Structure 1
Amino acid sequence: MQKCEQECGEEAWRIACCSRVGKIAICVMSIAILYLIISALTPTESTHKAADLDVPRAGINLTRANQVLTSLCDAYERGDVSGDSCNRLCYDRNWLVTDFYEGHKTVVIVKDGGQTAVYKSTKPFMNDFDEPQDHLTDAQFSDRVVDVVNNELRLGWPKHYSRHLMETVWPTLLRTKGEAMSRADRRSLWALLKQPEFILFRVLPLTRVTPKLIGTCGHMYQTESLVAFKMKGYYTNLKAKILVHVMGTLKLLYEFLDEPLQWCDVRFDNLGLSADYPKRFVLMDGDMVYTKSKLDSLLKGRPCETDDDCKIGDCTARCTANMVCSSRSNGNLEVFCDKLVNKLFANQWSKNNKYLVACRDTGRNITTRLNELRLTWSWNLPDV
């Protein structure tokens, strides 16, 4: 019986090897096995991409980036500065800097425990900022903070709510009820308050168009990491979805309290994406985002000779007969249409698309178009 099975097995193998079908089957199996072996030993494209995220961007000044971080952590260890992000940033100083930018703002991006951490400041070093006066009492220092925030946002924060504002700009006070701020605390907060973007991100998170503020260390503030939106040619296939995100962002700018936010640096490169923010972009840079009252204070009454003297980025005003600038004459809708929507759709538009109608139906005044757009938002973007 055993001999019979052996002979049958040998005969079956001989037939499989010699027949045409058998040869094809063996060839296919060999190729499949070879493919599995190569796949197991060769890194995938996604693996390469993940590895690339840990590699510094070509051309950045790593020496300068490390100088900025080292100076900050030296000051922290001396007790000259403080902040809720300092301990983690300065724990072992084994920084993996993946990007660094120094221009109108200093930005250092590091990989920290597998996470991307973004640190920003208008100036690279703490010593570049003025220090607060040492003789001020806690109440006097709080009043100064209220004055700085009110000057920047023009929202009229009352002095008798200064404690709440202090806890907003310096959340550590929420955990240390009754304790006075140290000199390092005051020095760090004062440097942060000299940076308009920090005030915007910290005080007005309800705008929902700015990145979350993770923490601070000295004069630097840490924002959440976003995916920068880079407009590519092939994105035109996704232009309907991009338009929804653009309109979601515009909606939030108009709906902020009674002070519509004015964005004067509108461009795709300044927009960020995150899975936490459906149907809207987030503004990567807030240096040219103003409340209406703040923008009026910068424009209205400014001496001028022509309309060109009445511009702050994309926000324009008119030079009046009195040779002073008016308040802003264009609006967010017009700028969004010109710099974002028109780039997506060129001359294409349909009357069935209410978003495009708001941009292209210039035969009607801007107020009418904006009112109809608000109605469309209420139906199509109620959850933004």
Structure 2
Amino acid sequence: MARGLFSRAWLSKTYHFQARLSYIRVKYLFLTWLAVFVSSWVLYVQYSTYTELCRGRECKSIICEKYSKGVIDGSACSSLCEESSLYFGRCLSTKPNNQVYTGSWGDHDGVIKCHLSDILHYELGDELEPKKEVALFDKPTRGTSVEKFKEMVASHLKAKVGEQANLSSLVSLILSVADSNKDGHISLPEAKSAWALLQLNEVLLAVVLQDREHTPRLLGFCGDLYVVERVPHTPLYGLSLPWPMELWIPMGMRQNMDQWFTPSWPRKAKIFIGLLELIEDIFHGTFGSFLMCDMRASTFGYTDRHDLRLVDGRRVVAEEAFKQAMILQHCEDDADCVYGVDCRTSCDRAEHRCMADVAQPNLARACGALKDYLLRGVPVQLSRWKWSTLSFSTTSRHCYGNRSHTPMIPEEK
């Protein structure tokens, strides 16, 4: 009797053990299948996103086809299409029509930028630059003389930067860049490439500020594809995380994480001084004033020596062209009168048109955007200085606190 009871108990335990083991197997099988499914979905979405955003081969194919037909020419054309010495590296594109890649060209590390949309005249919109036209590289037309091309360039620049006393010098500067092989003559393919590039804010700015230290140097071009110097450290601060991780990280925590990965305070101060110098060059430049309409960290970077560099100049627009475009912009309220991230004007509700003048100057927007970046980790000897009142003085053109003097930045030990 006892043996029978023992046998039944043993069999019952064995049955329950096997049942639990089967349950565990099914559970882990389900979790494994779920993990594989989620991973496959993430990889598919990432691949789809990559193929949509990163179209470097298409860009190269279009440019090289135009070059082989003699439509365009430039200093980078033979390296890109014949010698294959201009290499596309990692994709940095954030929009399908604006292709951005790291690259190498001989001994130079650069950034390759190319537009997959046709180029049009300067007009207010999402980009304030590239829009579609009937044909790409259709200007100037065959038979256009160099003098006529000069007039085209001068008229275009006048519309962008306004009437300048030294406008002829800027035209000469543009023509010197257009002469890519430096033979003293501008061919029709060179003129077509120069005209396409001239529509882009970033290229115009690179030419205007080519002798300044805070904008990457223009290395070469082919059609509307161009190569600029690569900035070692981008963005100005923060981490680039995969988008699935971005979804799960709270905004407050993400802001703190961005601040963790920043240089020491004296180096941050040096970078910020570079930003002030860049603003001075842009707003009080030789060839008119420009507005910086994107003060986000992704717009800037810095070198190994902690010198600031502007890495994305698409939202730096000539003030005159900005004003002319804004007064044509229909609006219902002030929210309709915004370009980029930071350039805002007010709405004339009676006329339903945006006002011409920007609400805040460059320096005020820079101080507001980077205040937290600069003030985090301030040395003790400066902490008594009340930086919380950081604002803008239109007379002194400086970011200042509640004292009349600017404190010295201590050397880093």
TM-score bracket, shorter-length normalisation: 0.5 to 0.7
1:316 matches 2:344: yes
1:105 matches 2:98: yes
The equivalent of 1:204 in structure 2 is 209
Q: Secondary structure at the match of 2:394?
A: helix
1:140 matches 2:148: yes
1:244 matches 2:270: yes
CA distance in 1, matches of 2:168, 2:289: 25
The one of 220, 231, 236 equivalent to 2:225 is 220
1:85 matches 2:76: yes
Q: Secondary structure at the match of 1:335?
A: helix
Unmatched runs of 5 consecutive residues or more in structure 2: 1-45, 120-134, 239-257
Q: Is the 8 A contact 1:168 1:203 kept in 2?
A: no
1:75 matches 2:66: yes
User: Quick check: 343-352 or 247-256, which moved more?
Assistant: 343-352
User: Quick check: 218-227 or 297-306, which moved more?
Assistant: 297-306
Q: Secondary structure at the match of 1:76?
A: helix
User: Quick check: 88-97 or 246-255, which moved more?
Assistant: 88-97
Structure 2 counterpart of 1:328, one-letter code: V
CA offsets 1:11-49 (integer angstroms, 9 cap, x no match): xxxxxxxxxxxxxxxxxxxxxxxxxxxxxxxxxxxxxxx
CA distance in 2, matches of 1:377, 1:182: 53
RMSD, matched Cα: 3.9
CA distance in 2, matches of 1:162, 1:284: 23
Unmatched runs of 5 consecutive residues or more in structure 1: 1-56
1:263 offset after TM fit, Å? 0.8
Structure 1 counterpart of 2:389, one-letter code: D
1:130 offset after TM fit, Å? 3.6
Give the TM-score taking structure 2 as reference length.
0.64
Q: Is the 8 A contact 1:300 1:327 kept in 2?
A: no
1:253 matches 2:275: no
CA offsets 1:83-130 (integer angstroms, 9 cap, x no match): 111222223337753223253512233344464332213326896444
Q: Is the 8 A contact 1:209 1:253 kept in 2?
A: no
% same residue: 21
1:265 matches 2:291: no
CA distance in 1, matches of 2:378, 2:398: 23
The one of 187, 192, 207 equivalent to 1:187 is 192
Instruction: Give the structure with the higher percent helix.
Output: 1
The 1:377–1:247 alpha-carbon spacing in structure 2 relative to 1, beyond 3 Å, is farther
CA offsets 1:136-164 (integer angstroms, 9 cap, x no match): 22211111011122223335366755762
Structure 2 counterpart of 1:85, one-letter code: A
CA distance in 1, matches of 2:263, 2:324: 42
CA distance in 1, matches of 2:115, 2:317: 17
1:285 matches 2:312: yes
CA distance in 2, matches of 1:161, 1:333: 28
CA offsets 1:53-75 (integer angstroms, 9 cap, x no match): xxxx9874499422322332233
1:328 matches 2:358: yes
1:219 offset after TM fit, Å? 1.9
The 1:237–1:66 alpha-carbon spacing in structure 2 relative to 1, beyond 3 Å, is closer
The equivalent of 2:19 in structure 1 is none
The 1:301–1:65 alpha-carbon spacing in structure 2 relative to 1, beyond 3 Å, is closer
Number of aligned residue pairs: give it. 317
CA distance in 2, matches of 1:353, 1:260: 35
